[in-house]
Structure 1
């Protein structure tokens, strides 16, 4: 049963000391009033009771006072509360509602403490009741004793059930929180991976097209005065290359839209677009050639895009760093169990890694290539070519 915030029950749950104090005061008042009104009547079941006096009232108050702090030290207070009750039985006073205090403390131990301590509390309550029975003038009243035992067992079982239910609900809440945290972590990881993929795609698109446009612009500037028609052709190629770059960038960035719009979607490039890529590089001034060996087969989309981006990045770096008279060769070999991609040039590229000019800053091309190849379990080699130049070679395993 859920508690409405701001209700009296919710306030009492936030201030348990007030409720327990009120409970102890009510039980004490009822017990004292009952013993005073009834007088010497047998209300406790321990035989003829003495007339109430200051001692009996004091013992009743001491027997019910532990209820005030029952949530803090229930087991200790259960032991303390048993002493005034035993004293009342030994002196043949009417104990009033002091037995109820023992039941409440027994329930508190069972509901808020572990199994071992709750069993110890049950043993203490049984021992205290046995001592009161021994001190009773009528210990053979088995009906009353059996009823008291059944009530005590029922109270203990209810307390344990409440504790187990509370622990079960706490476990469900904790599990839900763990699942929520795990889901948030998975979402953040997926977003980071998607951002990394988009960054690689943007780099490949921008680096390739801007590099080609830069070379075309430089060529147009050199022949602008002497060969205006050639400069016009170079400017038209730059215009077309810029439109292509914008179209691809819209397709990539379109997935980042959050306002419900859809970007201009177009198929991702693949190995079938290699002839067009090589033609672009030739128009930009790189003497590139393409060889495709083996029986062509349909490649997985991821490997298809990764191999294309690798060739695009390698040719772009050859265009930028190999020199004006360099040649480049692209070899694609389809084998039954793997795809071999090799790009090499005979230019003046640097050693060890993709060379960079004095005006270039380290980019993400090499990192992106390594990530793409490693993602599909491939093997990558980047370095100087035997006999001069530079070489990029990758092997992608193909599964049936």
Structure 2
């Protein structure tokens, strides 16, 4: 798996068969060279050397015309494999007609010699051990017919081809199953990351608005209180949906993202419309953090611009906003917060600290189990997608500190 241009996972399919097909191509060429050399050395000992030479010429032309057919599974079709095996079997059956009985009894090689293993290996790679067993069995039967009796050297060669081809076919089947499992795992990982990104958008938009409606409704009372109660129930249901990793089938990921962007727009008091795309090129992080400054929030930043790619800067600012939301929600309205921006050569560091009561030990794990994914998704998830880290340090009674680190890339330095 690698990263695309937009920073999202891109699944790269790997092929375990391609090296095998290349090796088979080389084997066919080397096997032909060996068979031709063997024939050239013993051509005068054949009973009909002209007929043997004619077959070797056909074998050479066939190999030259079809060498690229075994370079991939798509080109190596079943009819080709059957024809290729038939060429080898024909050469074995012609051997007793063209060679002398004395040479055959002495264990002389057949006309195609070791080239015969090429078609059998092609069947093993293409169809697995079952195809390999069928092809090697045919070769065994034809070799026994050519020899006339089950001689020891013939049986030895036949068993060797049979076992080797079936073993290779079985290994190919196992490799294909592993490749499918790996591809499925990469798809699941990519889907999980997309679901986490969507969950962050929902948390930053829909859940925040529902929580606000619930609080304001309870304060106003009357019919607004009932509206707030319903908003609270929907918030709980949506948090459960996010925690369970389920996406309703009637709404696609793109539609849910549009809903989240629309809610953020309405909550900000602006007119509905499509969310603007982040600008291309570097962006000054100071400009994104400056609007957080208020009587309760102090922002400290360098005097020079702190540049990051626009997408990374937006994610970092969103993580800071999520941390400040947690301060307002858990530390109280009177709590103070401090934002420190540091510009390092290799990374950008943002520290968010508050003087609230702190987080009890084990509370974050309980929150994740309850479906409250603010820290897990809106903060840690964002930084993980950027290749950075988010460290949370909290001591009961002494406040909480969140340190966000985003590494720089070569394009940011430029």
Q: TM-score, normalised by structure 1?
A: 0.43
Structure with greater Cα Rg = 1
Structure with more contact order per residue of length (Cα contacts < 8 Å, sep ≥ 6): 2
For normalisation by structure 2, the TM-score amounts to: 0.42
